[in-house]
């Protein structure tokens, strides 16, 4: 599929745990055009992204569902989507989506680390120690031996907050690219997705973009 001219993607960015997916789904709940890549892929994109989710669809099914979602909103001026790397688990984001994402309007959600830890804990805690440990080992080649050792100690003690804080140090380094092309940066002071959504809409309007 060629990269279509319209609609324009409004891309939600932010460090791991910023609540981007929850905000995206608030937009969808309120009737705005949304492509939810995580839902379609059944994966959140990180080493922990498959926890508590169903098995992933085939690549063909993934591609078809994305095209179906896009076609549903092809008369809209804008579509909300979450910033992602090229793959979600074993599924590769189609090139046309990735290119279109790069041409979009980027909104960076600036969220305090303490809030991000709480968001992640709320989302993943039911995976338990074994689930976390299995996912941690996927990062073994990327994390230093010292960080791995600390994470294992925290997990064995079921100190999930400390474990998540240590892992976020790694993810924060890999997420730096998200700030480079940001059009709008929003300091998030609320944990209510409706308030965050309205804050985004206000900033878009002030930037001359009416949704």
Question: What are the structural domains, with CATH classification, of the chain?
Answer: 8-194 (3.40.50)
Backbone angles phi, psi at 144, to 5 degrees: -70, 160
pLDDT given for residue 182 in this prediction: 76
Distance from C-alpha of 110 to C-alpha of 60, rounded to nearest angstrom: 35
CB 38 within 8 A of CB 123: no
* Per-residue confidence (pLDDT) for residue 176, from 0 to 100: 57
**Token output for 136:** 């941690």
49-74 core/surface letters (b: 16 or more CB in 10 A; e: else): bbbeeeebbeeeebbebbeebbeebe
Give the pLDDT of residue 204: 96
CA 50/CA 133 separation, integer angstroms: 13
pTM confidence score: 0.92
Name residues of the chain where pLDDT drops below 50. Answer: 177
Contact (CB, 8 A) for 172 and 20: no
Say if CB 10 and CB 105 are below 8 A apart. yes
């Amino acid at each position: 599929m060629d990269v279509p001219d319209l609609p324009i993607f409004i891309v939600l960015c932010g460090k791991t745990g910023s609540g981007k997916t929850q905000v995206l789904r608030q937009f969808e709940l309120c009737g705005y055009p949304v492509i939810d890549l995580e839902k379609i892929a059944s994966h959140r994109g990180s080493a922990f992204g498959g926890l508590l989710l169903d098995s992933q669809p085939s690549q063909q099914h993934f591609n078809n569902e994305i095209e179906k979602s896009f076609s549903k909103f092809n008369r809209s001026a804008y579509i909300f989507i979450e910033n992602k790397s090229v793959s979600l688990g074993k599924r590769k984001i189609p090139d046309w989506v990735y290119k279109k994402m790069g041409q979009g309007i980027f909104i960076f959600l600036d969220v305090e680390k303490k809030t991000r830890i709480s968001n992640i804990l709320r989302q993943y805690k039911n995976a338990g120690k074994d689930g976390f440990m299995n996912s941690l080992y996927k990062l073994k080649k990327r994390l230093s031996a010292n960080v791995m050792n600390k994470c294992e100690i925290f997990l064995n003690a079921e100190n999930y907050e400390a474990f998540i804080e240590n892992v976020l140090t790694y993810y924060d380094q890999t997420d730096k690219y998200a700030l480079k092309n940001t059009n709008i940066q929003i300091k998030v002071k609320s944990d209510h997705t409706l308030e965050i959504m309205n804050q985004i809409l206000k900033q878009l309007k002030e930037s001359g973009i009416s949704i």
